[in-house]
Amino acid sequence: MRAVFSNRAYASVLAETTEKIKTETGGLFLGTIQNDTWYIIESIDPGPKSIFEVAYFEYDQKYTKHLINKIANLYDTKFDLIGLWHRHPGSFDQFSSTDDGTNAKYASMREEGAISALVNIDPTFRITMYRVDRPCNYQKIAYDVGDNLIPDDLLKFKTPERFFDIMNKIRYSSSTRGSSAEGYHKSISLASFMSFILPQLKNSERTKHEDNGVISVPAGEFIPPKKEHVQEMLIDEVIDDITFMADSLGIETSIFQNEYNGLTVCQEAIDETTKLSFSLNILESTVVLSYNNKFYNYRKGLFTEAFGKAKAERERKGESESRVKPRKQAGVIDSVIKIIRFNRNEE
């Protein structure tokens, strides 16, 4: 297994590193995998609203999502987001616990996992490339650079005729449906999603425990799990739901380690106040979700299942009941449902 950079993608990594030479920075890999080879066709820059510090870096997620769609649409081949890279200070070429959460999220997006690269300048430029599978296992792999190492069809752009065909399909589709806005949607907030599924979580609600859901264990009873093991377990539990929210609904989130040795999921770019906190109840060996000062028993896939039930329940009520509801309330729910039906125009 290996990775191959196109000349353009490799130059993009070099350019971004040079521009942010005094701080951390990073980017996203757009490409495909064929015969155990990860072909990196484009490296997307992190965006103008990213956070660049000496020992910390965070992507401008709204910008990168927009740019990925724009760049991918230029190529004849349908490319995917296959991984990411970021620079570490000095010679540190291992992933932090925050990196583990991000890498696990990307690895869950496809059966083959993802690739994640670390850039160091110690004192010269070098890349350490890893393949990541779920929940968060790393395998160091080699990489090469050169368009001559990439199949010709992967480097082809769409022809003008291809774009004209797509335009005609959109025009025809719009005329038959009576709406030129079909296929367009706005990203929804994490708060809207939680409001939509909360009625389905009533059976999971529980009373508050000390320490935000993590029960302290008296000394000598047994040895609690190590910090890194707790993080790995929590990531494995929540990653399916986080991926569903991102891929199917367009809800981009960030995952952070919190002060309770748990995980916090939030959506700062849209709503700084909405946060989901996941922690381990040591005595019960269960995961506890904290949201809006309430606590719920959490299990893998709970949000995905709750969304499906909420969607089915709303559809059963029928259009007649929906029309008598206040438009503002219906609009939030409609936006959630509409996103799940979104398809690329050219497909």
- 37 shares a domain with 105: yes
- Same domain assignment for residues 149 and 102: yes
For residue 238, what are the contacts with CB-CB under 8 A and spacing of at least 6? 255, 263, 265, 278, 287, 298, 300
Domain that holds residue 262: 190-305
Q: Which two tokens stand for residue 40?
A: 């990196």
Q: What are phi and psi of 304, to 5 degrees?
A: -60, -45
Q: Is residue 172 part of a domain?
A: no
Sign, CA torsion 312/313/318/320: negative
Q: Which residues contact 147 (CB under 8 A, 6 or more apart)?
A: 6, 7, 155
Any domain includes 202: yes
pLDDT (0 to 100) of residue 230? 76
The rounded distance, in Å, linking the Cα atoms of 174 and 171 is 5
Cα 160 off chain centre by:
32
Domain count, the chain: 2
Has residue 131 been placed in a domain?
yes
Burial class (CB in 10 A: 0-12, 13-18, 19+), 332: middle
CA end-to-end span of the chain, whole Å? 31
Run of H or E including 133? strand 125-133
Same domain, yes or no: 130 and 200:
no
Q: What is the pLDDT of residue 200?
A: 92
The answer to whether the beta carbons of residues 188 and 250 sit under 8 Å apart is yes
Residues 220 and 142 in one domain: no
| Integer Rg of the chain from CA | 22
CATH of the domain at 51: 3.40.140.10
At 341 the three-state DSSP class reads coil
Q: Which residues of the chain have pLDDT under 70?
A: 48-61, 169-187, 208-229, 259-260, 268-273, 282-284, 318-347
Are residues 99 and 212 part of one domain?
no
- The Cα 286–Cα 266 span in angstroms is 21
Report yes or no on 71 lying in a domain.
yes
Q: Is residue 22 part of a domain?
A: yes
Q: Give residue 128's pLDDT.
A: 94
Both 31 and 91 in one domain: the answer is: yes
* Position 39, amino acid: Y
Instruction: Indicate the DSSP class of residue 259.
Output: T
Structure confidence by residue, pLDDT tens digits, 61-99: 677 777 787 888 889 888 988 999 988 878 888 888 878
Can you tell me the distance from the alpha carbon of 198 to that of 286, in angstroms, rounded to the nearest whole number?
Answer: 20
Residues 138, 20 share a domain: yes
- Both 115 and 11 in one domain: the answer is yes
- Is the domain of 39 the same as that of 146? yes
Pairing of strands 114-121, 80-87: parallel
Q: Comparing C-alpha atoms, which of 258, 259, 275, 277 is closest to residue 267?
A: 275
Of 155, 181, 207, which one is at a domain's C-terminal end?
A: 155
**6 shares a domain with 136:** yes
- pTM beyond 0.85: the answer is no
Co-location of 140 and 12 in the same domain: yes
Is residue 324 one of the residues assigned to a domain? no
CB-based contact 145:5 (threshold 8 Å): yes
211 domain-assigned: yes
Whether 184 maps to a domain, the answer reads no
Instruction: Please indicate, yes or no, whether residues 205 and 286 belong to a single structural domain of this protein.
Output: yes
Phi, then psi, of 35 in degrees rounded to 5: 50, 50
Residue 88's pLDDT is 83
